[in-house]
Structure 1
Amino acid sequence: MIETRRVVGTSTDNVFAVLADGWSYAGWVVGNSHIRDVDAGWPAVGTRIHHSAGAWPAQIEDTTSVLAVKPGRYLELEAHLWVLGTARVRISIMPLHNGTGAEVIMEEEITGGPAKRLPEVVQGALFRSRNTESLARLGDLALGRATAVLSADETVVQ
């Protein structure tokens, strides 16, 4: 299991709002380049994001599906890694005790395919930096979403 953590200066609801927007997936998941479709009801258990990975014209079409969800707190996904196999990705969002933001924890585990045979230290080397960047992007999108909502509220009040 590869675990990556990041503190984000916004609420758990703002972070989860990005996760709940399946169309934003390629904006924060490193390696994904295009969203082809998002099942109605995302992120309900069993729904999928249909995405492409890689750079055109060598894009690979694949899917990611929801295994478990607790709105505002937790999302568990099964990500297909093309010929490499599948991975279980758990994203937990916990409010900071001082009320200044949230801690986002991403755990990734290869669950099938040839990549499962790689030693954990090799898996960590391959995925930890990718997941660190993915959490940074997720945090930036959550902060941007929060700022956009605040700006829209201020515009209405004026």
Structure 2
Amino acid sequence: MVEVTRTIQAPVAEVFAILADGWSYASWVVGASHIRGVDDTWPEVGARIHHSVGPWPCTIQDTTAVRAVDPPHSIELDARLWPIGAAVVRVELRAVGPTSCEVVMNERAIRGPSRLLPHAIQALVLVPRNRESLSRLADLAEGGYVDARADIGDG
């Protein structure tokens, strides 16, 4: 399991709101380039984000599904990227104060050729990638992210 941690200057609920908005996935997950669709039940267990990975025109179409969720404390995802494989990604949020939280992101390859790589090799790729993902998540949360769905109908 590869783990990275970051303190974000936003409350747990605000950071979880970003995770709960499947349409925001490509804004903070490094590698996700386009969201094609999000199941209406996201982020319930079994719900999926249909995304593209990689630069256009060489994108791979795949999905990420919710394995477990405990709003607003954690979400666990089955992130696929065939033919490379799939990984379990767990994001945990812990309040450090009323306006900040610690975000812990764990990832491990579970299917496909990537699971055969030694932990040290996986870490060489995943640690920088996941640090950047948490940096992007922090930018959204600290920059005043607003879930656009909450504004629909406020006319």
TM-score normalised by length of structure 2 = 0.92
Q: What is the alpha-carbon distance in structure 2 between the residues aligned to residue 4 and residue 25 of structure 1?
A: 18
Q: Tell me if structure 2 keeps the 8 A contact 1:14–1:143.
A: no
Q: What is the alpha-carbon distance in structure 2 between the residues aligned to residue 20 and residue 35 of structure 1?
A: 14
Q: Read off the aligned partner of 1:122 and give its amino acid letter.
A: I
Shift of 1:100: 3.8
Q: What is the alpha-carbon distance in structure 2 between the residues aligned to residue 145 and residue 39 of structure 1?
A: 25
Q: Secondary structure at the match of 1:142?
A: helix
Q: Secondary structure at the match of 1:83?
A: coil
**Structure 1 gap segments, 5+ residues each:** 150-158
Shift of 1:145: 2.9
Q: Read off the aligned partner of 2:121 and give its amino acid letter.
A: V
Spell out the pairing of 1:1-158 with structure 2 (5 A cutoff): 1-96=1-96, 98-145=97-144
Q: Read off the aligned partner of 1:143 and give its amino acid letter.
A: E
- Structure 1 consecutive aligned stretches of length 4 or more whose deviation exceeds 3 Å: none
**Structure 2 gap segments, 5+ residues each:** 148-155
Offset from partner CA, 1:63-97 (integer Å, 9 cap, x none): 0000000111000000002111110000000000x
Q: Number of paired residues?
A: 147
Q: What is the alpha-carbon distance in structure 2 between the residues aligned to residue 145 and residue 65 of structure 1?
A: 26
Q: What is the alpha-carbon distance in structure 2 between the residues aligned to residue 145 and residue 82 of structure 1?
A: 34
TM-score normalised by length of structure 1 = 0.90
Q: Secondary structure at the match of 2:143?
A: helix
Q: What is the alpha-carbon distance in structure 1 between the residues aligned to residue 79 and residue 19 of structure 2?
A: 14
Offset from partner CA, 1:2-27 (integer Å, 9 cap, x none): 00000000100010000000000000
Q: What is the alpha-carbon distance in structure 2 between the residues aligned to residue 102 and residue 131 of structure 1?
A: 17
